[in-house]
Structure 1
């Protein structure tokens, strides 16, 4: 998203109660992408690229499609969208437009760094119709100092390294460049409606812009637009034009796109599983958000100017490693062919580890290089308070589990040295009392000594202590540390409310104080204790405290603000991104975390022959239903947005990878313990 677009959106939404003005939202529409670009197909069929973090190529910033008949243009965004959905379980997006001339069906599929848009115009009256495409590129993330080259059958838009190409199966009846918004338009109170009416402006203005309007002849009832993003250092102009020609000749029908989309799906979930729809959606979302390195963005970046957040188009090692672990566990339960994903993740964590054994706050997923962040205390001079120690714990938990699972696989990346160094780093941030030092929390909005951080340490140490073929000395050391953390976690117990505190912090007058607010991140203690239970049985008193904790946290954070809207908030007193809303917002991550924690507790209790397991299995089912298709937090697109307002309006990163992985892992865990039931309608609960 470029500044002109952000300012234009600001004019549209500055008085909106639930939309943050100036953002590039993805809360409507569908994404297509795999092994390259991430292309958003809005519900009106317009396209934009979100894949810069995954490829280093920026691509499309704005677009608009429609029809021209006898010189008159009707845009699809002025028409009714009949439907938009994925073709089967693939990444092919199918959009139906109801125009005054008849129905146009639009098919969109991303193929690596290319994207194909096929328009089925068969049956339109009159037949002499043209497809009009307005597309605006920002190569190298620039919207000025851009040039165009008009080839015989293609347009090339470039800045320096990035060269973007546009082609058409039926050629172009007409092509016209368009300059970006001018100063007066930017400063005007009213938004700019692009593209402008075609005029006879100066030649150089039309050629010095990323915007162009192209008219595509409709032949045999169809037209196809192709776009291709390239790095000129890697792909020559000739090769790019050849590739564009190949795309134009290969994808001349909906059937061809359907076949290509089906070939992209190399991981199939059990088709007869009652939760197959959700599982397939989770796999698709996590594939969409993955770069070629195997690292993932947290979600599509809707706020690149950091107007209301710190951005989402980066790899956090907490989110990414937990997703990797959930995928590993789910693959084992359902025999999913995700070995290549696991191997990529392990290699990526090995390659991005710092010399001190930790991982930085955020990296760019397309190459693993350091990305902008605010928690890089271990890279900077001074103390390490601005550091998120739980990230190292989460990576260790995955790598330890991965090393154990691939013990007999000679081709798997060797992560032994990575684990040894990471263990040293974890020890460096563990205080003498057995709890992690003061650092930033998982939500990245406060500092202290957090229950969630302690839980990730417990899981990391316990995983290493029980992993094979990790070095015996390392295993023994990790086991000792796991016992220390296990005992120390009770220092965070709040007996008055029966929960583990959000954190311990230092008050100038009272000294160390427990923050007794309920926090969904503290639910991580349950999965950590299940892992510890493999090392040494969890004692009865701790089981009772875990039961009390999950009961109290899920009840205290429960919100049902309006009819059909319900779930868990992030933590008590959370005021982030509330806009005009006075109370905390419901989060899909927190709700899915509640389901996973309840399922984990049911499993742990079952392993101890504790009758309370049935109670938490039922709680897990109730919370899981809220994030399943048909539930209030799952959109019709199959996506889980990070948050929703009280009226159900989705907000923030959409789709967010973390809750999708949590949902997948929760289904797998409940299946393992046979506590899933046939899907129930949420309205019947």
Structure 2
């Protein structure tokens, strides 16, 4: 996303009360991706690369398509073809249609257009594509080859070609006076004043290509100088344009590139497919995952999303690990890549940095890197290291890693780091919270420590390490007493006082307590407190409007309200609530506690809001991070964390024989 694109969006949406102007939102449309390229296909058929965090390549900055003299204007129906990555978009043209099919294969993206119905016999495809090689919108240039147009800056060279002979004309970017004008510029266009070089010193081109036998295929390729020779790039574009000229070939290629298979008998199979597809789209080739498509690279109203947070990533890893075996999905390759990624990125003190670029694992921009600076731990997110340690310990115990000794060494160093940030009273030090907007001693951070220590105490590591982790788990469990308000666990202790707000992050406690229960017997008071806390938190954070129902993030959350006047519902909080209730149900079930039935019921009730047909899920299966009360999706879409939570909750309830109970329950 270039500044020009951001300014145009700002001009279009500066008065909108449901869109933050200047962002490149993905709350409509569907993604196609493979390897380190991620391409958004909006509901007007336009393409936009979200690939930079994964590959370091910017690709398509903006685009537009149409037929004849018209342009597709949005609102088209979209779906994935079965359980593949082929995106199908149908543009209505009166009594005929244009069916658009998109598939990403490596760094090549294929877009096939097919006329359906009583279409005109002679019609051209109109295509406007603007690249931003090396993220630049200046100092770029075009080369028009026989069969493709090349846009380049220095390192990055991008290509667009078609399966039929086409005409290409360079597009002059916005002039300075147009950038500061009130109205956005519409492309393609013909400028009134044009210098000789204007249509060459640009990254944008307008192509017209005729349909032949009712179809035409457009191909884009992002490449690097020194890695892909120009002749090879041109050959790739030409081959793809001719090869992917029918649905069968596209679908076959999509099936070949998919690593996972979901059994036909899997519960909620459609949802499981959606979740695995989303996690695949957000994953780099090394296994690291961006939190979500980076809709805000200029930090207009957020800190960006196209990075790997070790909290989100490790939680996703653990949920996939827990759910994949139950669902009969082989994700061993994913688990192994995740473990190796965590090993490579661990800091010398055993912790992990705030966030990294997933493609090359280098340090990414962030605000919680105290362990890399001379600052104190208030600008460190200790829960991230707890989440990674918990996953690695569970992976070592339940799977068959290639190098268990190396993983044990990583766990041991991580435990040292956790020890260093655990105070004598059993609570972690004052640090940043999971939501990254406060400092203090948080119940969520304590839950991740408890989970990690308990998981290590169960893992096949040295006896000394297991015994130490067991003792540390006991300390954290005792330390939680400091946060007990008499009815629930407080959000945090801050400057010696309890912040007695409800926080969905505290819903990490049931899973942590259940892990802890595997190494010790929980007393009745601890169990009763947990039940009361979960019930109070779910009741207190639930929010319902005419359009949606779910959990808000925490009491008093004013982020991205945009004039709404109250907290927004978050899918990760809602999914966390469903998962926490399921974990609580299983913990109570193991104690023959009759309250398990109500916990399972609460889990199914919240899960319904994020399953197909639920109020928080898009028709394509995506879970956006947040929603306004009128149902408008906002922020990162799709977000990987709630998708992994949803998958794990479906698996958990199915394993407990509680998933099918919903069908027998009377409607309220």
TM-score relative to the length of structure 2: 0.98
Deviation at 1:410, TM superposition (A): 4.2
- Name the counterpart of 1:499: 488
Task: Give the structure 2 partner of residue 531 of structure 1.
Answer: 515
Runs of 4+ in structure 1 deviating by more than 4 angstroms, as ranges, are: 409-413, 678-685
CA contact (8 A) 2:43 2:75 kept: no
1:285 aligned residue:
278
Asked if residue 650 in structure 1 is aligned to residue 624 in structure 2, the reply is no
Aligned counterparts of 2:556 and 2:663: Cα–Cα separation in 1: 32
Q: CA deviation at 1:297?
A: 0.4
Structure 1 residue corresponding to 2:580, chosen from 590, 597, 605: 597
Query: Aligned equivalents of 1:491 and 1:193: distance in 2?
Result: 59
Residue 75 (structure 1) aligned with residue 59 (structure 2) = no
**Alignment match of 1:463 (pick from 443, 455, 460):** 455
Q: CA deviation at 1:476?
A: 1.1
1:200–1:250: structure 2 CA closer, same or farther, 3 Å change rule? Answer: farther
* Matches of 1:293 and 1:101, distance apart in 2: 47
Hey, what does 2:293 align to over in structure 1? Answer: 300
Who is 2:215 aligned against?
222
Distance 1:22 1:555 in 2: 36
1:489 aligns with 2:470: no
Aligned partner (choices 317, 327, 331) of residue 320 of structure 2: 327
Are the structure 2 counterparts of residues 602 and 681 from structure 1 closer, same or farther at C-alpha, using a change threshold of 3 Å?
closer
Residue 436 in 1 paired to residue 428 in 2? yes
Secondary structure (helix, strand or coil) at the match of 1:38 reads strand
- Counterpart mapping for 1:524-673 below 5 A: 524-560=508-544, 562-673=545-656
For the structure 1 residues 198 and 128, does the alpha-carbon distance in structure 2 shift closer, same or farther, using more than 3 Å as the test?
A: farther
Residue in 1 that maps onto 2:470 = 479
What residue number does 2:19 align with? Answer: 19
Deviation larger for 153-162 or 237-246: 237-246
Contact 1:550 1:598 in 2 (8 A): yes
Contact 1:122/1:222 (8 A) holds in 2: no
Q: Is the 8 A contact 1:34 1:110 kept in 2?
A: yes
Cα deviation per residue 1:593-622 (whole Å; 9 max; x = unaligned)?
A: 000000000000001111110010000000
Q: 1 CA distance for matches of 2:631 and 2:242?
A: 44
1:389 positional shift: 0.1
Q: Normalised by the size of structure 1, how large is the TM-score? A: 0.95
Cα RMSD, aligned residues only: 1.6
1:130-169 alignment, distance < 5 Å? 130-169=124-163
Provide the C-alpha distance between the structure 1 equivalents of 2:661 and 2:90, rounded to a whole number of angstroms.
Answer: 33
> Could you tell me which of 508, 515, 526 is aligned with 2:499?
515
Correspondence 1:206 to 2:199 = yes
Checking the alignment, whether the CA contact within 8 Å between 2:99 and 2:116 is kept in structure 1 is no
After TM superposition, list the pairs within 5 Å mapping 1:170-185 onto structure 2. 170-172=164-166, 174-185=167-178
Cα distance in 2 for residues equivalent to 1:363 and 1:193: 36
Aligned with 1:416 (options 399, 408, 414): 408
The alpha-carbon deviation at position 203 of structure 1 amounts to: 3.3
Unmatched runs of 5 consecutive residues or more in structure 2: none
Structure 1 position 102, deviation (Å): 2.3
Q: Is the 8 A contact 1:626 1:682 kept in 2?
A: no
CA contact (8 A) 1:59 1:164 kept: yes
Query: How many Å apart are 1:184 and its aligned residue?
Result: 1.4
1:312 aligned onto 2:305: yes
Whether the 8 Å contact between 1:101 and 1:126 is mirrored in structure 2 is no
Structure 1 unaligned segments of length 5 or more: list them: 507-511
1:394 aligns with 2:378: no
1:490 Cα offset (Å)? 1.4
